[in-house]
Amino acid sequence: MAELSDASLLVRSFMRAYRYTTSSWRPARLTKPLAACNVGLVTTAAFHLPTQPAFDLKLAGDPSFRVIPTEVELATLKVGHVSPSFDHAGIERDPNLALPISRFQELAAEGAVGRLNGRAWSFCGSIAKPGELIRRTAPEAARQARTDEVDVALLTPV
């Protein structure tokens, strides 16, 4: 696991100065077995389809998201997340590391989960000014998940 001391001076300075917020939010309890759940996937790898606009990698980060159909050919996904602290080699070789679509399809086939939701949500990581993300885009993704009757979601932060 990486240590803060492994990061560049710029990244260490940012991490020390960033004002993290705390929340009293608690995750909901599952009301049915995982084997009966519709599982949603959320990533901050900034994956997008070739037909979708790339994420805007401005300094404060892009608070928008892209919907990724879970029937996608993973090799077609584009990686939009850029950071000097992040090596893309792994997720470029195997996008399942950051968006485990194939793994959850396997889990559904085995009966370990009910099913994988038909769409996943891809956000850009490193949002230094998360106001719009908190107020608008994350709630919109949550509304879509509720519409899809997602019971549980896995977030893969990058």
- Model confidence pLDDT, tens digit, residues 108-145: 999 999 999 999 999 998 888 889 999 999 999 999 99
Q: What is the dihedral of CA 83, 86, 87, 89, to 10 degrees?
A: -90
| H-assigned helices in the chain | 9-17, 89-93, 101-110, 131-132, 138-147
pLDDT score for 1 = 59
Two tokens at 5?
Answer: 């001391």
Name 116's Cβ contacts closer than 8 Å, sequence gap at least 6.
Answer: 38, 39, 41, 70, 101, 104, 105, 107, 108
* Tally of CB atoms within 10 A around 124: 27
pLDDT score for 44 = 94
pTM of the model: 0.87
Residue 60 has pLDDT above 90, yes or no: no
Contact 124, 55 (CB under 8 A): yes
- Report which of residues 137 and 14 the model is more confident about: 137
pLDDT score for 84 = 67
CA-to-CA dists, residue 8 to 44, 59, 84, 88, 154, angstroms:
21, 17, 8, 17, 29
pLDDT digits (tens, 9 = 90+) for 62-108: 999 999 999 999 999 999 877 766 777 888 899 999 999 999 999 99
Rounded distance, CA 78 to CA 118, Å? Answer: 19
